[in-house]
């Protein structure tokens, strides 16, 4: 069975501090990986996608970056957090293009103060 793990579960960080969020998918080989973000009261927005190791494409510019150092790992990071980065971050995996469903991790709650 496939499992998707995200870390940390929650973070409280200061404005201007760095951030690193992680995601690991087990039980699937070479999945497409995605990062989504949900601001409080907002909808889920796709931030990044990756179809292979080492390749990440940005969908929305939020002063964040992402990397895929391994087939089963997806990292979201920034060197300087903004208040507007607060929200809920979800990692997801799927296969193929848009005609397929995606499976989401438990998420990370980020609060920037």
Is 59 or 82 the residue whose CB approaches other proteins more closely?
59
> Least distance in Å: CB of 109 to other proteins?
12
> Least distance in Å: CB of 60 to other proteins?
10
Is 83 or 96 the residue whose CB approaches other proteins more closely?
96
Closest Cα to residue 32, out of 100, 86, 85? Answer: 100
* 3-class DSSP state of 85: helix
Cα 25 to Cα 80: distance, rounded to the nearest angstrom: 27
Is 68 or 81 the residue whose CB approaches other proteins more closely?
68
Is 44 or 53 the residue whose CB approaches other proteins more closely?
44
Cα 23 to Cα 31: distance, rounded to the nearest angstrom: 13
> Least distance in Å: CB of 57 to other proteins?
7
> Least distance in Å: CB of 64 to other proteins?
16
Cα 110 to Cα 13: distance, rounded to the nearest angstrom: 8
Cα 79 to Cα 81: distance, rounded to the nearest angstrom: 7
User: Which positions touch other proteins (CB under 8 A)?
Assistant: 32, 34, 41-46, 49, 51, 57, 59, 90, 94, 96-107
């Amino acid at each position: 069975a496939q499992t998707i793990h995200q870390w940390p579960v929650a973070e409280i960080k200061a404005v201007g501090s760095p951030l690193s969020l992680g995601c690991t998918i087990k039980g699937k080989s070479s999945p497409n990986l995605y990062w989504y973000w949900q601001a409080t009261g907002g909808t889920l927005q796709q931030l990044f996608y990756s179809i292979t190791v080492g390749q990440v494409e940005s969908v929305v510019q939020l002063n964040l970056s992402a990397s895929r150092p391994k087939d089963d790992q997806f990292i979201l990071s920034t060197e300087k957090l903004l208040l507007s980065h607060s929200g809920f971050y979800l990692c997801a995996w799927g296969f193929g293009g848009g005609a397929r469903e995606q499976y989401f991790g438990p998420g990370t709650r980020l609060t920037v103060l």
